[in-house]
Amino acid sequence: MRAAVRALVAAAAAAAVAAPAVVSTSTAAWREDEWVHGLTATSSLRCGQDEGFTATSAGRFLSGSLLGTDLDPVAALQGVRLVRAADGTLTVTPPTAIDPGSPAPTATRLNPLTASALNVVGLNLTGLGVGLPAGSAGALNQYAQVSGHGTAAGAAGLVNDSGGVQVTPTTPSDQLPGPAYVSLGTLLPAITNLADTQLRVGAVASSAQLDGCADLRALLWGDGTATGAVRSYGVADVGLRTSSPVLGQLVQAVNATVGTLQTNLGTLGGTSGPIAAAIRTGLLGQLGAGLSLAPLSGTVTVTTPDVAGAVAPLLTAPLTDGVVTLNLSSGVIDVDLDALLGYAPGALSSQPPNTEVVLSATVLNPLLTRVGALLDTWTGQVVQALLTAVRSATVTVDLTTTVAASATVPVTGPVTVNVAGVRVQLTAPVGAILDSAAGTAVPPTAAVTVTATGLTGTLVNTVLGVLGLSLSSITGALNGSGAALLGLVAPVLRTALVVPVTTLGATLATLSGTLVTALSSLVAVLPSVVSLMLNVQPDRPGAPPSEPYTAGTATSTPEYRVTALRLGLARYTSSADVAHVRFATSTAGPVGAP
């Protein structure tokens, strides 16, 4: 471009040498608004006044190819393009583009897309129509403007009807629409416990503006640097979404344990339940040979806390650290890729031209750490909620029985007689019983009270005498058996109420590890499948070689093109590019001289 311009200036200088001596050969002698057109004639170049410029501009939200589908000819995705001839003739593509009205010699056209009407293989744009602020021109707006004065402008994406970009580093999240999703399923290998992996693309926008007259004057009489072009872009966010049945299995495991706890709480009570059986075993352990125990009577009850309600909020609320979100209800895993990769809020919209968003195992590995930490924290919360619930259940025991002695009495023969009455009482929360039995509650906050009352009489004394026992030894042993009985009740409660919870904790840890393993497989292959580039400008260093643009000539500016986000996709089995999707591409120029 600059070589052509230098040739033009050289030709002008040569012509000046052949002119009368009063005309200087220096380019500085040219008036600022004069130039040579076609190398032969001098005309006045008055920016903002002359109307003989040709101009081209365009705006297109989506272009490229996706999974074998060329998006460029897809009618539903057609952008808007304006071409102005030197005589003012205007070519509008598509002809149905909306004319919002502009004062001559300026022409403006809009061709907004309807996300819900689009049906492109592997691409879901419907989210971009959701959550837009009132009065928005739409997340899929497409804009083009040209003028006979030599100006051109194109815009695409979340832009207003004047072509202004509405995605900036400071745009509030409530002023942005929902995202679009690009399916990666056919590009990735089958990964156990993962499905429906998609790339999430938030609101995007771009704008290219060109004062072609100023551009040409800078090239001809300035330092050779074009000054008339301004390009801007915005990308709200980029993310990754996948789903896993493991999240549902976590919930199922919790619900199964809740069911087990509810069943166990309902079967602990009663005179034939495990608590009563433990107490009876403890009492029998205090009796010597020849003594027996009658069936227990009375009550054993265990209140039933709302175990399901204790964990219900934990099974429905998403788990998130602001970067990774795990939705237990739907099984969806959503990752804010820009935050994961270290971009500050809004930073995606302020990168230099042709910035590559580097995806590698190194930068993606924190995803595994974050998921593991979220699930570890959640597992701890579930376990603690269940333990708190079951420990709050109150155990109430009020049992009575009698101790009988049996012996063969001389003359009378075999005799059995009741020698003592026993009453066992306990009222305490499960947690207090467990802590007291374990010695962690000092002083003990739960105790079993045993009241044994001896029965007197000649026959009682005779039978006990034959057995070599005293009534005081029997009642003394029973009255001192409270701690032993507590020690037998506690394991019953622990087995029924604590062990299922600790077993659940181990199960949840195993499932969490399964999910992290699945995600590690995704992290390993994703960098070979997806590439991202921001602020793509084909005429600037670092641009993908396949990006087209029109170079300038001696009498026209270049085309100034900008794409907000370029997505490159390849199959994991090959590095060959199978898709390159451009989001929000705007072009301004070329602008040709009168």
Note the pLDDT tens digit of each residue in 420-443. 999 999 999 999 999 999 999 888
154 shares its domain with 7 = yes
Q: How many structural domains compose the chain?
A: 2
84 vs 578 pLDDT, higher one: 84
Q: How is 90-157 classified by DSSP, letter by letter?
A: EEEESTT-B-----TTEEEEE----GGG--BTTEE-GGGGSSPPTT---TTEEEEEEETTSEEEEEEE
Lowest mean pLDDT among 46-50, 282-286, 342-346: 46-50
Q: How confident is the model at residue 5 (pLDDT cuts 50, 70, 90)?
A: very low
Among 490, 518, 545, identify where a domain stops. Answer: 490
Q: Is residue 341 classed as helix, strand or coil in its secondary structure?
A: coil
Q: Distances from the Cα of 162 to the Cαs of 14, 33, 333, 337, 415, in angstroms?
A: 45, 29, 38, 31, 110
Count helices and strands in the chain by DSSP H and E runs: 13, 27
Look at residue 541 in the predicted model and tell me its pLDDT: 94
CA geometry: angle 344, 350, 354, nearest 5 deg: 115
Cα 488 to chain centroid distance, Å, stands at: 49
Q: Is 588 exposed, middle or buried (0-12, 13-18, 19+ CB in 10 A)?
A: buried
95 shares its domain with 201 = yes
107 part of a folded domain: yes
**Residue 180: which residues within 8 A CB-CB, separation 6 or more?**
115, 123, 124, 125, 126, 127, 128, 200, 201
Among 459, 490, 521, identify where a domain stops. Answer: 490
Task: Using the CB atoms, write b or e for 216-246: b if 16+ within 10 Å.
Answer: bbbbbbeeeebebbebbbbbbbbbbbbbbbb
pLDDT tens, position by position, 440-466: 988 889 999 999 999 988 899 999 999
113 shares its domain with 180 = yes
Q: What is the mean pLDDT of residues 239-254?
A: 97
Q: Is residue 330 classed as helix, strand or coil in its secondary structure?
A: coil
62 part of a folded domain: yes
User: Kind and range of the H or E element at 484?
Assistant: helix 482-493
Distance CA 394, CA 546 (A): 73
User: Kind and range of the H or E element at 66?
Assistant: strand 54-66
Pull the structure tokens for residue 30.
């040219």
What percent helix, strand, coil does the chain show, rounded to 5? 35, 30, 35
Closest CA to 91 of 140, 47, 144, 52: 144
pLDDT tens, position by position, 31-86: 344 444 443 333 456 787 778 899 999 999 989 887 777 888 887 788 999 999 99
477 part of a folded domain: yes
To the nearest whole percent, how much of the chain has pLDDT over 70? Answer: 87
Distance CA 209, CA 229 (A): 6
Distance CA 371, CA 50 (A): 62
293 part of a folded domain: yes
How many C-beta atoms lie closer than 10 Å to residue 48's C-beta? 11
99 shares its domain with 207 = yes
426 shares its domain with 544 = no
Q: How confident is the model at residue 223 (pLDDT cuts 50, 70, 90)?
A: low
Look at residue 452 in the predicted model and tell me its pLDDT: 95
211 shares its domain with 92 = yes
Q: Which residues pair with 532 in a beta bridge?
A: 357, 567
Look at residue 513 in the predicted model and tell me its pLDDT: 97
| pLDDT greater than 60 at residue 26 | no
**Residue 443: which residues within 8 A CB-CB, separation 6 or more?**
none
Q: What is the mean pLDDT of residues 317-325?
A: 96
Pull the structure tokens for residue 74.
């897809």
Q: What is the mean pLDDT of residues 138-143?
A: 82
Q: How far apart are the first and last CA of the chain?
A: 18
427 shares its domain with 403 = yes
Within 248-331, strands assigned E span 291-293, 297-302, 319-320, 324-327
227 part of a folded domain: yes
CA geometry: angle 479, 481, 482, nearest 5 deg: 95
Look at residue 41 in the predicted model and tell me its pLDDT: 39
To the nearest whole percent, how much of the chain has pLDDT over 90? Answer: 62
One-letter amino acid at 87 equals D
550 shares its domain with 438 = no
Closest CA to 280 of 400, 419, 405, 418: 400
**Residue 304: which residues within 8 A CB-CB, separation 6 or more?**
262, 265, 266, 393
**Residue 151: which residues within 8 A CB-CB, separation 6 or more?**
55, 106, 145, 209, 210, 211, 212, 213, 591
Q: How confident is the model at residue 234 (pLDDT cuts 50, 70, 90)?
A: very high
Lowest mean pLDDT among 144-153, 177-186, 191-200: 177-186
Q: How confident is the model at residue 182 (pLDDT cuts 50, 70, 90)?
A: confident
| pLDDT greater than 70 at residue 23 | no
Average pLDDT, the chain: 86
Look at residue 577 in the predicted model and tell me its pLDDT: 61
Domain of residue 267: give its range: 256-305+392-490
Among 490, 515, 542, identify where a domain stops. Answer: 490
Q: How confident is the model at residue 226 (pLDDT cuts 50, 70, 90)?
A: low
316 part of a folded domain: no
Q: What is the mean pLDDT of residues 193-198?
A: 93
**Residue 168: which residues within 8 A CB-CB, separation 6 or more?**
234, 346, 349
Q: Is the separation of the CB atoms in 206 and 256 below 8 Å?
A: no
163 shares its domain with 262 = no
Helix axes of 430-438 and 366-391: crossing angle, nearest 10 degrees: 100
| pLDDT greater than 50 at residue 15 | no
Pull the structure tokens for residue 540.
């600037």
pTM of the model: 0.83
Q: How confident is the model at residue 186 (pLDDT cuts 50, 70, 90)?
A: confident
174 vs 326 pLDDT, higher one: 326
| pLDDT greater than 60 at residue 9 | no
Pairing of the two strands 195-201 and 238-243: antiparallel
C-alpha torsion angle, residues 193, 198, 203, 209 (rounded to 10): 150
Pull the structure tokens for residue 352.
């230099």
Distance CA 138, CA 168 (A): 16
23 shares its domain with 159 = yes
* Rg, C-alpha atoms of the chain: 42
Q: What is the mean pLDDT of residues 257-282?
A: 97
Q: Is the separation of the CB atoms in 570 and 387 below 8 Å?
A: no
285 shares its domain with 412 = yes
99 shares its domain with 234 = yes
Distance CA 441, CA 446 (A): 9
Q: What is the mean pLDDT of residues 330-357?
A: 93
424 part of a folded domain: yes
427 part of a folded domain: yes
